Amino acid sequence: MPAKKTLIIGAGIAGIATAIRLAAKGYSVEVFEANSYPGGKLAEVKQEGFRFDAGPSLATMPQYIDELFKLAGKDPSQYFSYQKLNIICKYFYEDGSRLTAYADEEKFISEVDKLTGEGTALRRFIKNSRRIYELTDHIFLQKSLHRFKTYLNQNAFKSLLRFGQIDTFRTMHQANNKFFTDKRLQQYADRYATYNGSSPYQAPATLNVIPHLEQHFGAYFPEGGMYQIVNCLVELAKSLGVKFHYRSKVDEIVLKNKKVLGIRVNGKTIDADVVVSNMDVWFTYHKLLSQSPQYRPKKILNQERSSSALIFYWGIKKQFPELDLHNIFFSDDYRAEFDHIWQKQTIYHDPTVYINISSKLRPDDAPSGCENWFVMINVPSNKGQDWDQLIADARVNILEKLSRILKTDITELVVSESILDPRSIESGTSSYQGSIYGTSSNSRYAAFQRHANRSSQIKNLYFCGGSVHPGGGIPLCLLSAKIVTEWVG
């Protein structure tokens, strides 16, 4: 009996992982990607001797990548290597204080105690984060929330009985305001809302699970940079017989009698038993299923989108020993910053700035004596704002902020520059409005309201990636691939 033919739309990290999992189970798999390269948002930029990881810059939960190699009967260490970071992030505040978040929990607590005297509070915060993870991982992250059998086991029953302990009825800031009295630590804890494009003043405190993923499981740097994750997984997929088609934009998902027949690419129809869309679910329905508007889940598609990002890729002709791989320069007024993003749909004049410098660990990413600065701020999704003016103003404000805190004129050090904004994120990755994580989590029921990994109306149509369950970011995208594979069977 011939293998079932599966076509995957989009070679983002979730699409690649789904291809690997299905191929390992004996499916015939082909992947169609509109761009000339795989990876989706997990891409890279090369300019004037500098190399940048263009999108996600933080690697956590590498066991989900290792798992893919093991499914293929391969030793992951022979194909993909990474190092655990001793310092997760360095934080810089407007009052001149600095905080180093060490991977070693006790060392980090000691560091917080010296700065704020709230080391005991941090210990309680970390313990709470671990408890939320233990209650949510096996039911909210590892399984589909849209299958009845997910809830028919003892672990799920225990978690549901302790539902109140995952802290859904307070916002992150309300919870963190109880843990910490020091404004700087509140900002440290609140910033994790941005990991899925949300606001700590609106998102449920359940998202305080995120620090556990970083602090307990660790933060990592792949050998060769973040884009090496894509390279290794594509090669693994090919070794299993997966075929990749680049510059192959899918125009339509072909249906008949509520059942998938295949896809249409460049005027040609390609038959399939199963179709998996790694494209943003909004564009999947509005573009690929435009001939079948009756199947659109309007309530889901009309949900508030996550925030987007404005990124400057700067080649800097100097090295800064005080900076590390991951660095955060906090706004002096965090609430005002999020009010501007979410209520005013614009950019605050004093944004929190994230700088990733991969040349700290991979010197070849920058010329000798230089550094490659991936400089990012959180911004609203694209709703037709005057982005050219917003970008120009933000550039000035970011340079002034960094120059002030680092006591160096950064403007004079920028020798190479390119920019990624919500418009180019939308056009380059088919992410509606340039939102990075699909829908926002600014609701206590957001986890339950994300689109399922399978269509409820169209047979043999499935979904993976950051716009569907369980959410955005590399680990969750990899888990979406796992859930899809379980659905397909």
Reply yes or no on whether the pLDDT at 149 is more than 70: no
Interval 272-276 mean pLDDT: 97
Residue 411 has pLDDT above 80, yes or no: yes
- What is the mean pLDDT of the segment spanning 13-29? 97
Residue 134 has pLDDT above 70, yes or no: yes
Name the pLDDT band for 489 (thresholds 50, 70, 90).
confident
Higher pLDDT, 411 or 444: 411
* Mean pLDDT along residues 304-309: 96
**Residue 62 confidence (pLDDT):** 93
Angle CA 28–30–33, to nearest 5: 165
Residue-wise pLDDT for 358-391, tens only, equals 999 999 999 999 999 999 999 999 999 999 999 9
Least confident piece of the model among 148-162, 273-287, 356-370, 446-460: 148-162
On the question of pLDDT at 24 being above 90, the answer is yes
Tracing tokens 């990290």 back to the chain, one arrives at 13
pLDDT band at 274, cuts 50/70/90? Answer: very high
Q: In the structure, what pLDDT confidence band is assigned to residue 152 with cuts at 50, 70 and 90?
A: low
Across 452-461, average pLDDT: 94
What is this structure's pTM? 0.94
What integer is the mean pLDDT of 451-457? 92
Task: Check pLDDT > 70 for residue 153.
Answer: no
| Nearest CA among 221, 220, 185, 212 for reference residue 200 | 185
Q: Domain 5-41+223-303+449-488 is in which class?
A: alpha beta
| Cβ atoms < 10 Å from Cβ of 35 | 18
Q: What is the mean pLDDT of residues 120-149?
A: 79
The domain limits of the chain are 5-41+223-303+449-488, 109-217
Are the beta carbons of 469 and 146 closer than 8 angstroms?
yes
Answer yes or no: is pLDDT of 73 > 70. yes
Share of the chain above pLDDT 90, in %: 86
pLDDT at residue 162, rounded to an integer: 59
Q: How confident is the prediction for the chain on average, in pLDDT?
A: 93
| Average pLDDT rounded to a whole number, residues 315-324 | 98
The mean pLDDT of 219-246, rounded to a whole number, is 97
pLDDT band (50, 70, 90) for residue 471: confident
Quote the pLDDT of residue 135: 82
